[in-house]
Amino acid sequence: MSLIVQKFGGSSVSDAQGIKRVARRIIDTRAEGNDVVVVVSAMGDTTDELLDLANQLTDEAPAREMDMLLSAGERISMALLAMAIDGLGAKAASFTGSQAGVLTDSIHGKARVIEVSPQRVRRAIDRGYVAIVAGFQGMSKESNDITTMGRGGSDTTAVALAAALGADVCEIYTDVDGIYTADPRVVPAAQKIDTISSEEMLEMAASGAKILHLRCVEYARRFGVPLHVRSSFSTNEGTWVLPSPDDQIKIQEGEPLEQPIISGVAHDRSEAKVTIVGVPDIPGKAAQIFGIIAGAHANIDMIVQNISTSGTGRTDISFTLPMVDGKHVQEALRAAQADVGFEDISYNEKVGKLSLVGAGMRSNPGVSYTFFEALHQAGVNVDMISTSEIRISIVTDADKLDTAVRAVHAAFDLDAEQDATVYGGTGR
């Protein structure tokens, strides 16, 4: 008997029909002799709608209340799903994040898991119930307040539970058949990937591929939880994200052992670019600036410092950060302007980031050339560049991003002959 954690995203439970389909799927998995723990997201675009509502009332919702509000979305779907399973004759019990023992720190809106004690969940499955847990939320260990873990956080809930319960696999159900070489909504010719290393998946998720929450991949890698990303709309085998290179070889038996050079192209529209103009070019200024940003709890991404123009003794520092952090980071920097001694800040939200990811990049020369030549041929201007061992990323104008993604995807021969199937969801 194995224990499977199944996570269903918002598009899989967007209406009563979807909830019923998911309920049947869960019952089928049990009928095959497995114990099942389910994690659900909020129905459809509920989380966005709740956010829109809050924004109609205030520009600065208290973070504690925002978490109280947003956690309600998942509570609706967990209860409805439990009813649907019950209606089909099986036993189910739903649990909020805190009831399921998901304890976090106190950073509202991006809380991190500190401890998972799923005794109630364990007891429910031992008594023959399907345990359904609300995703994306927990309770602060310190304040006992309800917290949420950041957009897309239900994936992380699922993996955290899978690790704590010692589950055999964590299945992430979504509205496409798995992980693709690019977002099929932007590149219809994108191909499904059969297996991907967690190292590459980490880079893809960090580069904006929304299919898996970044922290879910980190968590799965850390605790050795195999992830299977698949569709709730079909029974097709999805994509396996494998935590260790040994598993990778096991799964690929009979197939070429050499990894493909490129695993995919990810893009991200959620970031803004900040340039701090005229920073004194002396030791300690970058530390001061990034200290201020860290104090504002913002995760920054690409950083570029331009060469100090001779004579002025000043330099420009640019970086990208999530748009949602744009306002308070600018405020924090402004407050320290005199102290740091910079001249100005410029802020631009009309940017997009494209990343090419592949472990085979390490050992294959010429990847950068093909990449930049494809962008050149497509008339895409490159604004910032950053690289890791297995990734090249650029920032360009937001309205050029789709063209850029398609051009790069084609240049690396990733286009399939048939278009990918997108079963549902708005991609919002």
Among 97, 109, 135, 184, binds ligand ASP (CB under 6 A): 135
Backbone phi, then psi, for 158, in 5-degree steps?
A: -60, -45
Residue 352 binds which one of ligand ASP, Mg ion, none, with CB within 5 to 8 A depending on kind? Answer: none
In this structure, the strands spanning 344-348 and 271-280 are: antiparallel
Q: Where are the alpha helices (DSSP H) in 131-254?
A: 154-165, 198-206, 214-223, 245-251
Of 414, 358, 366, 409, whose CA–CA distance to 388 is shortest? 358
Which region among 39-47, 83-91, 122-130, 160-168 touches ligand ASP (by CB under 6 A)?
39-47
Contacts with ligand ASP: how many residues (CB under 6 A)? 12
β-strand partners of 395: 353, 384
Residues numbered 287 to 316 that lie near ligand ASP (CB under 6 A) are none
Q: Does 153 bind ligand ASP (CB under 6 A)?
A: yes
What secondary structure letter does DSSP report for 15?
S
The answer to whether the annotation marks 8 as part of a ligand binding site is: yes
Residue 8 binds which one of ligand ASP, Mg ion, none, with CB within 5 to 8 A depending on kind? Answer: none
Q: Does 138 bind ligand ASP (CB under 6 A)?
A: no
The answer to whether the annotation marks 156 as part of a ligand binding site is: no
Residue 153 binds which one of ligand ASP, Mg ion, none, with CB within 5 to 8 A depending on kind? Answer: ligand ASP
Q: Does 101 bind Mg ion (CB under 5 A)?
A: no
Cβ-contact 39, 6 below 8 angstroms:
yes
Q: Does 73 bind ligand ASP (CB under 6 A)?
A: yes
Cβ-contact 173, 237 below 8 angstroms:
no
Cβ-contact 170, 5 below 8 angstroms:
yes
β-strand partners of 213: none
Q: Does 358 bind ligand ASP (CB under 6 A)?
A: no
Among 4, 7, 8, 10, binds Mg ion (CB under 5 A): 10
The answer to whether the annotation marks 290 as part of a ligand binding site is: no
Write the Ramachandran bin of 109: left for phi over 0, alpha for psi from -120 to 50, otherwise beta: left
* Least separation in angstroms between CB 100 and ligand ASP: 15
β-strand partners of 227: 170, 241
Residues numbered 236 to 275 that lie near Mg ion (CB under 5 A) are none
Backbone phi, then psi, for 308, in 5-degree steps?
A: -65, 120
> What string marks each residue from 6 to 35 as x (binds ligand ASP by CB under 6 A) or -?
---xx-------------------------
Q: How far is Cα 372 from Cα 203, in angstroms, rounded to an integer? A: 19
Residue 135 binds which one of ligand ASP, Mg ion, none, with CB within 5 to 8 A depending on kind? Answer: ligand ASP
Q: Does 41 bind Mg ion (CB under 5 A)?
A: yes
Q: How far is Cα 61 from Cα 76, in angstroms, rounded to an integer? A: 22
What secondary structure letter does DSSP report for 299?
P
Q: How far is Cα 346 from Cα 325, in angstroms, rounded to an integer? A: 15
Instruction: Tell me the binding residues for ATP.
Output: 7-10, 174-175, 180, 185
Residues that bind ligand ASP (CB under 6 A): 9-10, 41-42, 47, 73, 135-136, 151-154
Instruction: Tell me the binding residues for substrate.
Output: 47, 74
Instruction: Tell me the binding residues.
Output: 7-10, 47, 74, 174-175, 180, 185
